[in-house]
Amino acid sequence: MSFFVRLDLELKDHEGSTALWLAVQYITVSSDQSVNPFDDVPIVNGTSFDENSFAARLIKRGSNTDAPDTITGNCLLQRAAGAGNEAASLFLATHGAKVNHKNKWGETPLHTACRHGLPNLTTELLQQGANPNLQTQEPIHAPKGSPPTSPSSSTYLQTPLHMAIAYNHPDVVTVILEQKANALHATNNLQIIPDFSLRDSREQTVLALALWTGMHIIAAQLLGSGASINDTMSDGQTLLHMAIRRQDSKSALFLLEHQADINIRTQDGETALQLAIRNQLPLVVDAICTRGADMSVTDEQGNPPLWIALENDLEDIASTLVRHGCDATFWGIGPSGCLQTLLHRAIDENKEQVACFLIRSGCDVNSPRKPGPNGEGEEEARDGQTPLHLAASWGLEEVVQCLLEFGANVNAQDAEGRTPIHVAISNQHRVIIQLMISHPEIRLNVRDRQGMTPFACAMTFKNNKAAEAILKREPGAAEQVDNKGRNFLHVAVQNSDIESVLFLISVQANVNSRVQDASKLTPLHLAVQAGSEIIVRNLLLAGAKVNELTKHRQTALHLAAQQDLPTICSVLLENGVDFGAADENGNNALHLAVMHGRLNNIRCLLTECNVDAEALNLR
């Protein structure tokens, strides 16, 4: 009697391998028949196993084509693919192996084929109905001390296409893309169309992954196969936003060339243009502008793109914006809600380089700030100060020079009637004053609302250098008179301002000019009236005529004699005054001294000159 024992084909050896695994694996170890106990035909150039091979016969007898590994869950097909044995993998795939079997990490044989770059196996699996949209699972942390078994990547939720891109297998990517095109027209309903919108655990679509790994040719193929270029992440970012934030100019430019939407904003309201500026990507800024981006959109603080660039010292980007027609003036909200230009702001914040850039870029150089839409704004909104006034006030020499070069109105008047040179003089900015005086179109006779010319302003602020410079340009400036008919020498004498008197004398002011009013007094007459001996002396030294008469035919001595000014009487006598001169009433100086009871003057006149004490007046 004979006993037949049924062999268990699933028994595993000490390495956990079944007979079928050994059969499919061994055949590739050697092509030498003498060491091949299974009499298989050797594998040459990846041809399939013979149907009479030991492996094929095992399968016919019911050997399990999957036989998952107990530790990893990898089936035979995955093990063969993982070992790079495409021939063995193809054999199993065509002999009933489950094409959608999942290992411990949710990887299918298609994932394994894509990870290891096996295009033929990928093609076969897809034709066998492998699902290209299955995603890997979050890795389960193995107990301490267990062998490393999980894939090296910490990323999960990957589709097979993610794997092919992540491991840089463009030939496998091409297979999947071709399969998608074929599946759309296929009669074989086994084939599943790949979904390009699936995301891995890092929220990356296959298009995103291709971009971030620098595989732009594949990215272009994906777009050609229907991948969406404007998908947004859960945080509202598009691929374009992400490329810019990564400072990946190449990917950003790629997306722009493929018509990515430049108008989608981030959740923070930022445009692609604002992001590109903040991330200092000049080529990307240029490309976005070329595609017609709105360059007037402001950020949360109300800053337009041009200001963002300039504030961050990005002149190359600012130049790009201007070249594309960006408004260099840009009216926005200023102090207290008034409206101001970028130039006003740059000057106010002492940003000279920014201001000069704006001026050279053709911004409005003459407009003052103005009230807001509902009349907002305090003094700034109504002071009428042009950029040149502001720059002169702050002492910004480069800005003033730039403004003058680019046509700013040097004679513009603010709400107080002051021109920029009035402002520069009152703020004592020497270089700016000189720049303005040298301007061919400056008018130095313009008066402010107080009637002051620039020269008057210089005299008021004791700015002798400015006054001198004005006189060189406008020699008659010192003779300009105020609404009382007085010139600067008259005012200085009346105020006993010796410093100004000496200055005016030094610049050859006319020491004999008369006040243009009814009195017609000379500076010497005024000095005597003011009782200033030192000014009298200096006027006489400078050539003041000692015998000039008032309208009542009185000399300076007559005027001195009426006041208690014996010293001045002496000075005048020393300088040859006509002590015998009689006024319209026939009075000489002695008559007037006696009439006013000026004993000191009488003593001086009687002892220091030969005045006729017996002379009679008209009375």
What's residue 12's pLDDT? 66
Give the mean pLDDT of 549-557: 94
Q: Tell me how far CA of residue 146 lies from CA of 46, 83, 150, 197, in angstroms.
A: 35, 21, 11, 36
Please give the angle made by the CA atoms of 302, 307 and 312, to the nearest 5 degrees.
120
CA distance linking residue 215 with residue 165, whole number of Å: 8
Nearest to 502, CA basis, from 476, 523, 528 = 523
The helix (H) or strand (E) run that includes residue 533 is helix 533-541
The rounded radius of gyration (Å) of the Cα atoms in the chain is: 50
Structure tokens at 604: 């001086």
Beta-ladder partners of 370: 339
Structure tokens at 515: 């006040």
CB 387 within 8 A of CB 402: no
CA distance linking residue 582 with residue 66, whole number of Å: 142
AA letter at 124: E
313 φψ region: left (φ > 0), alpha (ψ -120 to 50), beta (else): left
Looking at the predicted structure, is the pLDDT value of residue 146 above 80? Answer: no
Number of CB atoms found within 10 A of residue 39's CB:
10
CB 384 within 8 A of CB 368: yes
Q: Per-residue confidence at 144, pLDDT binned at 50, 70, 90?
A: very low
Give the mean pLDDT of 469-487: 88
Express each pLDDT in 167-181 by its tens digit. Answer: 999 999 999 998 888
CA distance linking residue 102 with residue 207, whole number of Å: 25
Give the mean pLDDT of 483-500: 93
Express each pLDDT in 257-305 by its tens digit. Answer: 999 999 999 998 999 999 999 999 999 999 999 999 999 999 989 999 9
CA distance linking residue 521 with residue 531, whole number of Å: 15
What's residue 33's pLDDT? 47
CA 385 distance to own-chain centroid: 25
CA 118 distance to own-chain centroid: 50
SS3 333: strand
Contacts of 52 (CB under 8 A, 6+ apart): none
Q: Per-residue confidence at 147, pLDDT binned at 50, 70, 90?
A: very low
**Most distant CA atoms of the chain, gap in Å:** 188
Q: Which of 89-103, 210-224, 329-343, 533-547 has the lowest mean pLDDT?
A: 89-103
Give the mean pLDDT of 561-590: 92
Q: Tell me how far CA of residue 253 lies from CA of 165, 220, 272, 317, 415, in angstroms.
A: 20, 12, 12, 16, 51
CA distance linking residue 369 with residue 388, whole number of Å: 12
Express each pLDDT in 197-234 by its tens digit. Answer: 999 999 999 999 999 999 999 999 999 999 999 988 88
What's residue 428's pLDDT? 93
Express each pLDDT in 337-390 by its tens digit. Answer: 999 999 999 999 999 999 999 999 999 999 999 999 998 988 999 999 999 999
CA distance linking residue 352 with residue 224, whole number of Å: 50
Looking at the predicted structure, is the pLDDT value of residue 51 above 70? Answer: no
CB 72 within 8 A of CB 20: no
What's residue 142's pLDDT? 44
Looking at the predicted structure, is the pLDDT value of residue 471 above 60? Answer: yes
Express each pLDDT in 381-419 by its tens digit. Answer: 999 999 999 999 999 999 999 999 999 999 999 999 999
What's residue 95's pLDDT? 83
Nearest to 524, CA basis, from 570, 572, 487 = 572
Q: Which of 28-37, 284-293, 318-327, 486-495 has the lowest mean pLDDT?
A: 28-37
Fold of 1-138+153-227: 1.25.40
CA 350 distance to own-chain centroid: 15
Give the mean pLDDT of 102-130: 93
Express each pLDDT in 513-529 by its tens digit. Answer: 999 999 999 999 999 99
Q: Per-residue confidence at 59, pLDDT binned at 50, 70, 90?
A: low
What's residue 25's pLDDT? 72
CA dihedral for 456, 457, 463, 469, sign (positive or negative): negative
CA distance linking residue 572 with residue 533, whole number of Å: 10
Structure tokens at 600: 């000191």
Looking at the predicted structure, is the pLDDT value of residue 20 above 70? Answer: no
Looking at the predicted structure, is the pLDDT value of residue 3 above 60? Answer: no
Instruction: Given CATH 1.25.40.20, say whether it is the number of domain 229-326.
Output: yes
pTM over 0.85: no
List the alpha helices (DSSP H) in 427-463.
430-437, 454-460
SS3 355: helix
Looking at the predicted structure, is the pLDDT value of residue 115 above 90? Answer: yes
Q: Per-residue confidence at 155, pLDDT binned at 50, 70, 90?
A: confident
CB 94 within 8 A of CB 120: no
Concatenated DSSP letters of 603-618: HHHHHHS---TT----
Q: Which of 59-68, 119-128, 279-288, 587-596 has the lowest mean pLDDT?
A: 59-68
Give the mean pLDDT of 106-117: 94
More confident site: 564 or 26: 564
Residue labelled with tokens 């005048």: 572
What's residue 205's pLDDT? 94
Q: Per-residue confidence at 37, pLDDT binned at 50, 70, 90?
A: very low
CA dihedral for 175, 180, 186, 190, sign (positive or negative): positive
Please, where in the chain does CATH 1.25.40.20 lie?
1-138+153-227, 229-326
Looking at the predicted structure, is the pLDDT value of residue 321 above 70? Answer: yes
Looking at the predicted structure, is the pLDDT value of residue 76 above 80? Answer: yes
